[in-house]
Each structure stands twice: as structure tokens, then as C-alpha cells.
Amino acid sequence: MSATVIALLGILALFILMMLRMPISFAMFLVGFIGLVVVASPEAAFKVTTTDLWSQFSDYSLSVIPMYILMGEVVFRAGITDKLFHAAYKWVGQLKGGMAWTIILASAGFGSICGSNSATAAMIGTMAIPEMKKYKYDDALSTGSIAGGGTLGIIIPPSTVLLVIALQMELSIRDLFIASIVPSILLVSLFLLTVWVLCQRNPELGPAGPKSTMLEKMKVIPGVFPTLALLVFVIGGLFMGWFTATESGAIGTFGALVYAVILKKLTWENFKKAAFDTLRASAMVVMLVASALVFGRFLTITRLPFEVADWVSALPLHPFFIMLGIYLVFVVGGAIMDALGFLIISIPIFFPTALSLGFDPVWFAIVLCIITSVGAITPPVGINVFVVKGLAPSVPITTIFRGAGYFLFAYMVCILLLTIFPALVYY
């Protein structure tokens, strides 16, 4: 049996284990370890799980993951979501669809310091759903805005997903964070444009709310300024070269702690909750990184990624159309399983293919991050949709999927623009 066949059988076994509800990280580790035993030797398998794992986890840069997660947890415990939502509503709530705009802008703000799509949808949805009902917003638009806006959480830097991609692809965290800024702004703008078009065509979808005076608008700015200052300092410091990505995580966490202390929201109970949630999320991400290393070594030894790259490169097609095929794979993959899990599984296979076609690795990472996040609002998994369903049990799940579907066009336009004009991914 050839190594390529063994690799394909390993991938099949991986999906079978996941369908049997085994955690993705455990399934990847098990398949990768057994695959190494079969293709190489037991000694090689144990070497990867000891020497290589130790080398990976002794890397100082890995500490950036819990730092950014802790920063988001502390800011959340300090009540930052309330201030972002309130400020956005004061500025755009009086427009048609203004509440939906508020949700998207608040999601973008919270996502910038949270890095999780489901957490963003849950936090914003908790506050937004009662307000949307009060102003008689259409159920599809209101719930769809929450689910769609939540997907911004894994695109806007600092993002946990981008961190993992950087570590797995061996790319610069700084480059990925900076490269994601323009695509993030573009996607948020397209989301806002989508709401505007929908409400212009049918104003009953999102009636305008009460007007706010300029004085009321100016009063809410101080509540948002600390968050903006923290974000600008962390990302701006990376851009200016004042500190490394790992140092920026520590500085951002320190700034969040100072912010929480000033607001007098950092009780011992809140700090314990933030620390516990950070440990839980960090353990999940680190286990994914560890299992990805073992699974990636298995695929590398079988040479499957390079066989796929050679085969794709030999196809009589323009690289643009080949990339469209890869896009389709990631859309389907993101729809049937967790976005981060699918990225970790598929990157070892498709990353060499993208490089062989001459695509920039940072551009490829950003586009994949955006494409896979589409899966959070598409059936059958659509994690954000089910999060919103839990917050609005009276709204049919089909209605939420329909509302989230409004924003799929924005995603397609964004991905198309990034593909046609790759210079938008500037770093």
C-alpha cells in the first residue's frame, strides 16, 4: 500500500472519528500518531510526540495565545460590550436599519478584542434582541445581523484564529494582523451596505429609531475611547515595530487590567472567571496546535500535500479558477465543522498548493480566514445561528439562517475583491 493511499485512509478515518463526536484535536492526534507508526516507525511516532512537541511548546511566541484571550476576557468583564453598543446606537440608531448597523459596529468593536465569533454573537445578542423587538425590527434581519456580525470576531485583529494560522504556517503574527486590517474594514463596510440596501428596499425591515442630539452623541465617546486606545496601541505598536506580537499580547492584557481597575469592575470573582475561561480556551487552542503538529508530520511523510500541489499545478487551468475550487472546499468544510478545526486540518494540504501556484502566503491566510468564517452562518453547523437561536428561542431556525444569508453576498464580494486586487492585503 502506497504512502498516498495511507494518507487518504488517514483523512477518511479522521472524518469518521469526528462524525462519531470525538473532539477534533483528539481525532487528529490519534490518526496522526497511528499514521506515523504505519508509514515510518513507532520510534518516529514517539519522537514527534516528545521532541517535536517539546520544541513547539517551548517556543516563547506561543504565549501570545493566552495573553490575547485574557485581554478579551478582562475587557468583557469590565462591561465594554455595553459601552460599545450604547455608543454605536446613539450615532446610527436613528437611521433606517440603524439598530442592525449598531449590532454590526458593536460586533466589530467587541470582536477586535475578543477574537471569537460565537462569543461575539452571544454577547451582542444578549443586549440587542430585546431592543430589536422593542423597535419592531424584522426577525430575520435582527437575528441575522447578530449571527453575521459575530463572524467579524475571528477576522478583526487581534484574532485567535489568525494566531493559530500564523503558528501553523510559520508566518509572522505581526504581518497577519496588519494584513487583516483593510479586509476587516472592507467586510464591515459591505455588511453595513447590505443592511442599507435591504432597508431602502423595504423600510419595514428596520424602522428608524429616535434621534439623538449631538450632545448625546458626544457624551458616549469617552466610554469607547479606552477600547479604541487599547486597540490602536496594540495593533499600532506592532505596525510601528515598538514591540513584538508576543509583547503586544502582554501589553494589551496589562492595559485591559488597568482599564478594568479604573472602572472598578475587576472584582476578585470577575478575575477568577476571566482566568478560568482563559485557561479553558487556551487549553483547547493549544491542544489543537499540538494535534495539528502530529497530523501535519504524518501528512508530510506521506508526501500527500506535495502530490496534491504537483497535481493541481499540472492542471490546464488558470490559477484563478483553481483558487475558486479551493475556496469551495473551504466553504463546504467551514459549513460542516468548526472553522478553526477545519483550517488546522486543511492547511497542511492546501498551503503547499497555494505556494506552488505563486500566491502570497499572507494573502492566502487572510482569505482562508474570511472564507472559513462563512461556515459560522451557513447550514448545517452554523454555530453562530444556533447561538442566536438559544437567545431567541421563539424565532424559527430557518428564519435566522435566512437573515444570516443576507450577508453571504457581502462575503462573496469581499472575497472577490481580495482575489482580483490582492494588494488590498497590505502588510
For 378, half-sphere exposure in the C-beta direction (CA atoms, 13 angstrom radius) is 19
The mean per-residue pLDDT over the stretch 2-20 comes to: 86
Cα gap 179→8, rounded to integer Å: 34
**Does 392 have pLDDT greater than 70?**
yes
Cα-based distances in Å from 190 to 46, 117, 169, 183, 413: 49, 18, 29, 10, 8
Contacts of 270 (CB under 8 A, 6+ apart): 77, 260
Predicted pLDDT of residue 307:
78
Cα gap 413→96, rounded to integer Å: 23
Higher-pLDDT residue of 382 and 56 is 382
C-alpha cell read off for 207: 424602522
Percentage of the chain beyond pLDDT 70 is 94
Q: Are 7 and 299 in contact (CB under 8 A)?
A: yes
Other CB atoms within a 10 A radius of the CB of residue 44 amount to 15
Higher-pLDDT residue of 419 and 227 is 419
Where do the structural domains in the chain lie, given as residue ranges?
3-424
Cα gap 272→10, rounded to integer Å: 41
Q: Are 311 and 349 in contact (CB under 8 A)?
A: no
pTM: 0.77
Q: How wide is the angle at C-alpha 141 spanned by C-alphas 137 and 142, nearest 5°? A: 60
The mean per-residue pLDDT over the stretch 250-260 comes to: 85
The mean per-residue pLDDT over the stretch 137-145 comes to: 91
Report the range of poorest mean pLDDT among 94-108, 117-131, 264-278: 117-131
Predicted pLDDT of residue 113:
66
Report the range of poorest mean pLDDT among 157-161, 193-197, 399-403: 157-161
Other CB atoms within a 10 A radius of the CB of residue 1 amount to 8
Predicted pLDDT of residue 189:
94
